Amino acid sequence: MFKPSLTLIALAVSAPSLANDAPKDMERIIVSGSRVIESIDEVPASITVISRKQIEDHLKVNPELQSLLAQMVPGLAPDTGSSSNTGQSLRGRAPLVMIDGVPQSTPLRNGSLGVKTIDPSALARIEVIKGATSVYGNGASGGIINYITKQATAHDTHQGQVSLSSRFSAVKLEESTGARISGAINGKVENFDYLVTASYEENGVQRDAEGDILGLQYGLSDAETQNYFTKLGYDFDQEKRLQFSYNYFSSQQKTDLADVPGDINEGVKTYAIHVPEALQKRGKPQGPDGNENITLKYTDSNIFANSEMTLDVYTQDIENVFFFSPNLANPDEGYEGGQSIIRSEKRGARATFNTNVDFDGVEATFIYGIDALKDTTSQPLVDGRVWVPEMEMDSLAGFLQTKWVINDDIIVKAGVRRESIDLSVDDYETLKLCRSETQCSVPLQVKGDTIDYDATTYNIAIKYNWSDSFSPFFNYSQGSDIADIGRLLRAATVDDIGLIQTEASIIDNYEVGFSSLFDQVRLEVAAYRSTSELGTTNSFNEATGVYEPVRAPQEIWGYEGLVDYRISKTLNVVATYSYVEGKNTEADVYLGSRQISPPKATANVNWKPSDTLSLTVSYLYVGDRKRFSPNADGDYIGDQGPISSYNIVNISGQYQFADNWNAFMGVENLFNSDYYPARAQSYTYGGYNIKGLGTTATLGVTYSF
């Protein structure tokens, strides 16, 4: 294993495996995507596990989880270079983001900010389970991204760490220097253990390859981010444990800049400049405004014969503030624009049981339980107007998942989940919104109602660990998704919520793949196909200027591959490739980039010449995707802009100069490539045409005690 390396994007590529970055340790890697701990070689599906060391490597260069995930997870769309993960789909569909199994996404009104909910310094690992899954219910049509937080590791003592770093533009230093401090301490005294982490960061301005400040829409320039996480545990005995955890996260852009708008159709970038206060970006600072999670968990590893029980209750309060937009204008009422907030309150409880039974030559595991969730979500505007009315969802689900290990080498999984959802919305009126004097939506009075959803989803999979050199698997899984109801409600074209096409979508996901392990080489290959009778895409209505949902059948397909070649004890090379494509099968047209990302390849070389020094060089390639034609005016619309390929090279290194001290450095975009990220090329919506980060350096030091 190589020592922590410090590339911004390299780390992400340093081991973007479908499973793990150490082939000889694969059998010791565990995942909890199925809600219980299990060996990864008993999971018949594509999984990426990002280890704590890899997270720490990346953190020392860039604290953005979005860039870490984009580079390490084949099948996940490229990094957007911003605080928003809109357009960053997983295998063409939306993933459900969780912290220790507690949902962070807001699927009732998906603002695509779920990835940025906790600081990486609080994480032990990240598990990404790909493909639709019913294990956690609504919102996991593309799979799940589960942030697993740290546990106390010190025994009868206390341990801690403090890290200081600075990040700055190497193209133009002026105003670009930022600072970050993070710390952690943990310990255990008799039966009580604790963990506390804290981080605070202030960014300078971020500059592109030409030295200009990046545009502000979902921007990270002048962002102030803070995270406080604590976990307290008490072991009643070796079998019973009570655990409390709390997470506070805030990340807001507080700046005196304003955008100089460009036009992606004209090839003109959006960038930011200093302006007088009257011209600065209006409204509240954009970003998560003090989001909180509280979880109380009780476990009994021997509740009855061969059975383990986990009970947890959780609460979550989210307030994500969006940028001021002139598209939310209504001149008739004196509004020149508006700024929206997604508010979401979740209150949930779960009971999970795990029973193991040994038959003659067969080890059987039964995972079963009940999930209950109350989710209240809305999207008002800061000025008091209601864009998306309050939606109250009550969900109750029961599930059974089984695993059968036959003769130690054949693994069969099968399961079912039954979910009942009631969604209530009161009477409301859609907003009149104007993009111009002649392009306005028409307000509509909509009668509220309670809509009932009942969905039963199934899964079955098999894996045959025939030998180290060939372990094939097949996986069929279903997921249920009631889609982005808030987007449907705010663009309602009928006067009764019962007439809006809000039916739940059932996603059928098929996957086949294999892994091969030889003396120095590991191969992993997977191909997949997913279908749904109802999708969630958008069509631009030129008369009203509103993007309206189109719920048409979809088919998405793709493949991924990885080669991990350990040349020597000190030198390792990892390369990946992923491809995804999809269509609206009713109209036989390709899906836009909100769902479908361009091909992506990564490669990195890790060199560890000594115990105290390590170096990493990484390469990212994002390919072309040009599936659409311009309109009669020669412009592309929506998310259909053509994507041209680009390449990024990064370098990083770390040196341990004393027992408790490490110094590190990293350089992103080493050759100062001048490019637009994939989303910036394809999104024609105003403000997204922002170039990628130019050469940016990080320097820092870590002290452990």
The segment with the largest mean pLDDT, out of 44-58, 97-111, 113-127, 526-540, is 113-127
Type of residue at 578: S
Give mean pLDDT, residues 23-36. Answer: 58
Residue 605 scores a pLDDT above 80: yes
- Cα separation, 100 vs 149, in Å, equals 7
42-56, 112-126, 565-579: least confidently modelled range: 42-56
pLDDT digits (tens, 9 = 90+) for 392-426: 999 999 999 999 999 989 999 999 999 999 999 99
Residue 84 scores a pLDDT above 70: yes
Give every CB contact of residue 561 below 8 A, 6+ residues apart in sequence: 74, 523, 524, 525, 526, 576, 577, 578
List, in sequence order, every residue forming a beta bridge with 223; answer none if it has no partner: 253
DSSP secondary structure letter of residue 277: G
Give mean pLDDT, residues 108-131. Answer: 89
Type of residue at 390: E
Model confidence at 493, pLDDT cuts 50, 70, 90, reads confident
Residue 30 confidence (pLDDT): 66
Q: Percentage of the chain surpassing pLDDT 70?
A: 92
Q: Percentage of the chain surpassing pLDDT 90?
A: 63
Residue 23 scores a pLDDT above 70: no
pLDDT digits (tens, 9 = 90+) for 619-651: 999 999 999 999 988 999 989 999 999 999 989
Residue 29 confidence (pLDDT): 61
In three-state secondary structure terms, 531 is: strand
270-279, 384-393, 511-520, 524-533: least confidently modelled range: 270-279
Give mean pLDDT, residues 351-360. Answer: 93
Closest CA to 402 of 354, 355, 361, 365: 365
pLDDT digits (tens, 9 = 90+) for 470-484: 999 999 999 887 767
User: Nearest 5°: CA angle at 468, between 466 and 470?
Assistant: 55
Q: Which residue has the higher pLDDT, 502 or 461?
A: 461
pLDDT digits (tens, 9 = 90+) for 333-349: 999 999 999 999 999 99
Radius of gyration of the chain (CA): 25
- Judged by phi (left if over 0) then psi (alpha if -120 to 50, else beta), residue 337 lies in left
In three-state secondary structure terms, 102 is: strand
Average pLDDT over the chain reads: 88
Residue 610 scores a pLDDT above 70: yes
Residue 435 confidence (pLDDT): 81
Model confidence at 612, pLDDT cuts 50, 70, 90, reads very high
Angstrom CA distances, 581 to 235, 600, 639, 695, stand at 49, 12, 14, 31
Residue 549 confidence (pLDDT): 59
DSSP secondary structure letter of residue 90: B
Residue 483 confidence (pLDDT): 67
Give every CB contact of residue 320 below 8 A, 6+ residues apart in sequence: 106, 111, 113, 287, 288, 289, 291, 341, 342
Residue 16 scores a pLDDT above 50: no
As a CATH number, domain 10-704 is 2.40.170.20
386-400, 534-548, 573-587, 663-677: least confidently modelled range: 534-548
